Amino acid sequence: MNRICCTAIIFLSFLFSSCENITNVDSAVPYKEYTVVNAELSAYKIFKGVRITHTMPLGVQYDIQKTEIKNALAYLLEDGTRVITLHYTSEGLYYPVEDLYPEPGNHFELFIKLEGKSIYGKTYIPESPGIVVTSNAGNNYLTAIVNAEPGEAYAAVWRVAIGNGQPDEIASDFYSVESADHFPSTLLVRTMDISPPFNSTEYSDKYFIQVYAFDKDYKDYFISKKNSDQITNTFTSGGGPVSWNVYGENVIGIFIGVTEGNAIRL
Amino acid sequence: MKRALKILFFISMLLSAILSGCLKDKITPPSEFSLNDSATLLFFLEDGRNYFNSSFMPSLVNADEVDSNLQNYLLLDIRSSEEFAAGHIAGAQNKPHSELISYLESINYAQYQKIVIISGNGQSSSFYACLLQLYGIENSYSLNYGMASWNMVFAGEWLDAIDNKDLSNFTADIVSKPDYTPLPEVELEGSNLSDAAHSRIREIMDTDYEDNLTGSHGIATVDFSYLASAEISLQYYIICYNSGPLYKDFISGIGHPAGAVRYSPPPSGTDFSSASYLQTIPSQKKIAIYSTDGQLSAFAAAYLRVLGYDAQSILFGANNIFYDRLASAPGLNNEAFSESKIRDYPYVTGN
């Protein structure tokens, strides 16, 4: 019996120590480079290209000229049929030969060949989100109930139309990204808290809520990204792996379709 | 024993928890995501200068320019040895189209300001000049209207091609481009993309471009007379490759063969680019392309054939279909071949 316990303890110590090695920076361990792929396809908006770069070792100052990848072969495949080639321009960005305006309802696949290895991503451009009702939670934040669709996730931002030719004030991020598991169903999405001084009755007639519909993969990314934020508060944030949706050997990246709904006045 | 089993169970549970934690950042790729040959070929053609969708297209050079630059230009005459012997531009070399690339790769072709491909009427030379450009020989040009523009002695083919056909099945109705279809299937062979694409272009370079009106069709060309029957025309997807009034003449009301679809060439349009309408061209149908004079459409046929489309250029274009309308239409009349385009430059005979 003692022998079993002893074996178990020794084995566990090995396992724990091997996991710990991941977080401890050891200069003797060779640096592992990742290819980073990043693209967003926004409905009816000009496609801003795919950025392909590679990671840099810790301690090396970030420089796009040193991280950009110029020699990738890349193209999009729209709805399994239409090939849209992507070509290097500058700073790791690959563009179509002409402006591209993705349309909602369409699926896009991303194919990249880099130094003999294949990279792949897939996304969907949702239709404009269907809003059932909106409400103002005491000038603190705004909410909307949306009709949930399969494969989609939703998030919202508040906007304040200040007027006098000034641009709208807008929330810095989403409060959360929501999706449904059963259909048909509705979802409640809320904005982050409205920043002062706009969270007062003086501005309440200038509030708008704008709902974004995403490919559902964005929800996993959003949540895991939050989990991996730098730890500033040990009770609310922590380290963890990010959910990427671009596949390939030593590849990380996000390839996401999004449709911005109209800003709705409350 | 029971306790030992409990401990083993505990250890296995702990192991699963730890291992799943360690592997949390692994992602599962789809089983298959290899790149498609047709798409990579299109990438090659559109990468860099993107010749076919650029203002360099079509690369034609006039007889006057050639005559002024005989010392700086490399002249490659692709007509038969008999035609060459009957008369050619001094300094021109007689080379079969299938040997052009090998020959140019064997010399320092970049030393020449322009390489001018010469045929009898400018149709086939346009086809091969386009292929050379796609191959990366960026100083390749076709002699506009071929030897017909050099001297009246050689202009017979062109003058005979001028015609006005029966336009009873013509319409001014605008036909919308159809839905996207997959690219034609092409299999590339080569260790890298450049080699594979070059091999593909060499393959098309071997195509015999039959540039005489025979009432029928060749591999990459078609006589409009052949297309005129309704039964035959249904087998084709007809492209009017012109951004001007060639497609729809608002004055005369004459437009285009029924069912023909307009695609705009550079510089005003780039309808053959991947981000535009290239894939609205059906990959499973024969393609007949016409332009004003059959030269621009020869460039287009070359490009589409490299991509795997069964494309044929309508020989001599609108000059052979509705010459009178072409010659009288503002904005198009300069595209009508006439004696004013024929020079009287000297030529030599023999080999």
Closest-CA residue of B relative to A18 is B22
The string of pLDDT tens digits covering residues B194-233 is: 999 999 999 999 999 999 999 999 999 999 999 988 789 8
Instruction: Annotate B230-270 with DSSP letters as a single string.
Output: HHHHTTEEEEEE-SSTTS--TTT---EETT-EEEPPTTT--
* Per-residue pLDDT, B127: 98
Within 10 angstroms of residue B13's Cβ, the number of other Cβ atoms is 10
Listed in sequence order, the DSSP H helices in chain A are 2-23, 64-67, 217-227
Which secondary structure element, helix H or strand E, spans residue A159, and what is its range?
strand A152-160
Tokens of B325: 């309308």
Tokens of B31: 């089983």
Token look-up 């379709």 returns A257
Q: Is A99's CB within 8 Å of B42's CB? A: no
Q: Is A15's CB within 8 Å of B15's CB? A: yes
Contact (CB, 8 A) for A208 and A158 = yes
No. of helices (H) and no. of strands (E), chain A: 3, 15
What does the pLDDT average to over B297-302? 98
Give the bridge partners for A260, in sequence order. A212
Partners of A242 on chain B (C-beta within 8 Å) are: 25
Optimal mutation site among A17, A73, A83, interface B, most CBs of chain B within 10 A: A83
- B33 in contact with chain A, both atoms CB, cutoff 8 A: yes
Q: Is B11's CB within 8 Å of A8's CB? A: yes
- B21 in contact with chain A, both atoms CB, cutoff 8 A: yes
* Per-residue pLDDT, A228: 55
Is the per-residue pLDDT at B24 higher than 50? Answer: no
Closest-CA residue of B relative to A114 is B35
Query: How far apart are the CA of B181 and the nearest CA of chain A, in angstroms?
Result: 6
The string of pLDDT tens digits covering residues A132-148 is: 999 999 999 999 999 99
Token look-up 């991280």 returns A67
Q: Is B25's CB within 8 Å of A98's CB? A: no
Q: Is A15's CB within 8 Å of B18's CB? A: yes
Q: Is A1's CB within 8 Å of B4's CB? A: yes
What does the pLDDT average to over A98-125? 96
Q: Is A83's CB within 8 Å of B25's CB? A: no
- A185 in contact with chain B, both atoms CB, cutoff 8 A: no
Query: How far apart are the CA of A204 and the nearest CA of chain B, in angstroms?
Result: 44
Within 10 angstroms of residue B85's Cβ, the number of other Cβ atoms is 14
Closest-CA residue of A relative to B20 is A19
Cis previous bond, B30, omega within 30: no
* Per-residue pLDDT, B21: 41
Is the per-residue pLDDT at A21 higher than 90? Answer: no
Where residue A207 falls (left for φ over 0; alpha for ψ -120 to 50; beta otherwise) is: beta
Query: How far apart are the CA of A84 and the nearest CA of chain B, in angstroms?
Result: 5
Q: Is B40's CB within 8 Å of A248's CB? A: no
Q: Is A111's CB within 8 Å of B22's CB? A: no
Of A98, A118, A243, the CB nearest to B34: A118
Taking only Cα atoms into account, the Rg of chain B, rounded to an integer number of angstroms, comes to 26
Pick the more confident residue, B105 or A14: B105
DSSP SS3 for A113: strand
Is the per-residue pLDDT at A97 higher than 70? Answer: yes
Q: Is B47's CB within 8 Å of A87's CB? A: yes
Give the bridge partners for A147, in sequence order. A186
pLDDT band at A229 (very low <50, low <70, confident <90, very high): low
Query: How far apart are the CA of A79 and the nearest CA of chain B, in angstroms?
Result: 10
**Euclidean distance between CA atoms A174 and A155, whole angstroms:** 6
Count chain A–chain B contacts defined by CB atoms under 8 A. 105
**Euclidean distance between CA atoms A154 and A260, whole angstroms:** 10
Is the per-residue pLDDT at A237 higher than 50? Answer: no
Q: Is A19's CB within 8 Å of B21's CB? A: yes
Partners of A79 on chain B (C-beta within 8 Å) are: 180
Of B42, B181, B270, the CB nearest to A85: B42
Pick the more confident residue, A30 or B298: B298
**Euclidean distance between CA atoms B213 and B159, whole angstroms:** 12
- A12 in contact with chain B, both atoms CB, cutoff 8 A: yes
Percent above pLDDT 70 for chain B: 89
- B34 in contact with chain A, both atoms CB, cutoff 8 A: yes
Give the bridge partners for B143, in sequence order. B61
Strand B311-314, strand B286-290: pairing? parallel
Strand B311-314, strand A251-265: pairing? unpaired
Q: Is B33's CB within 8 Å of A118's CB? A: yes
Closest alpha carbon to A49 in A87, A82, A80, A77: A87
Least confident of A92-101, A159-168, A208-217, B197-206: A159-168
- B271 in contact with chain A, both atoms CB, cutoff 8 A: no
Of A8, A73, A79, the CB nearest to B7: A8
Query: How far apart are the CA of B286 and the nearest CA of chain A, in angstroms?
Result: 19
Which secondary structure element, helix H or strand E, spans residue B128, and what is its range?
helix B123-135
Q: Is A12's CB within 8 Å of B11's CB? A: yes
* Per-residue pLDDT, B6: 60
pLDDT band at A235 (very low <50, low <70, confident <90, very high): very low
Of A73, A77, A98, the CB nearest to B270: A98
Q: How far does chain A reach from its first CA to its final CA, in angstroms?
A: 70
What residue type is A225 in one-letter code? Answer: K
Is the per-residue pLDDT at B169 higher than 90? Answer: no
Mean pLDDT, chain B, rounded, equals: 90
Optimal mutation site among A71, A76, A82, interface B, most CBs of chain B within 10 A: A82
